[in-house]
Structure 1
Amino acid sequence: MKAAVLHKFGEVPRYEEFPDPVPGPDEVLIQVKAVALENVDKMMAEGKHFASRQFLSQLPAIVGFDGIGELPDGKIVGFGGIKPPYGAMAEKAIVPKTNTVPVPEGIDAVTAAALPASALSSLFPLKWGGQSFNQAKRF
């Protein structure tokens, strides 16, 4: 399969062939439809994230934490929890069966892949920033 393969920290991942993942008994094979390239992915590939060597424990490895894909039964799902050396930026991924979330009907894969990072980036400051503001107002 084709994938974004990292050979050395600090280098740009290369689009190249990588062995297909083989699902275990409690895992599911996903045909990847869309993945968002996020800052954490770039930091991991650069080796600058505190957990780069934990999540990319052996090189070469495929980058990417999560994405949107199609299950063997045709359902579109969000997925994460991929075991190294595999990552989301590939044609196929395997994840534990419990690590999928259905994508609502009518939402295309690209939109579904882009939403979580944007939504959480907005939610966290509002949630915790708002709490700090409310606490400060009491004094």
Structure 2
Amino acid sequence: MAGVLVWEKRLLFGSTAATLLAFLFQIVAVGTTSWIHIEFRTTLVQNTSGTDQFLTGYSGGLWRSCEEGYTLDGQGQKVDFEECKSHKFFPEDQELKKDKKTDIQVVDYVRTGSAFAIISLLIMMLGHIFAFTRSGDHGISSSD
């Protein structure tokens, strides 16, 4: 009987430690602007001004996304750039028509991901508050 109690206490402690670690990771994911970094082979892209851009990487998070790369100047020298833009959660119809890169389905995904991250962070926080606070006799009554 005592061995089962010790095992249950260890299991409870391990589960609590794992959820605290997940809670910290969730805080980092929500609190930072860029938590995913992708480097890939150089990709040639022609932008609207007619100059060639060579993309070398991407970084992003819940709040913004950045493209990294370089262009070539008149002498053939590399000029590094990083273009960052914040996610527009509620773009107007004129912006959607003007910017062909913006798709309403992608905007819905961004909104859903951000809302899910914030709501799950709040639920985990409430779970930890309830787990670490004591209230009375925890519903256990003794009948003598």
**TM-score > 0.5 by shorter chain:** no
**Structure with higher RCO (Cα < 8 A, 6+ apart):** 1
Larger Rg: 2
TM-score normalized with structure 1 length: 0.30
Indicate the structure with greater helix content. 2
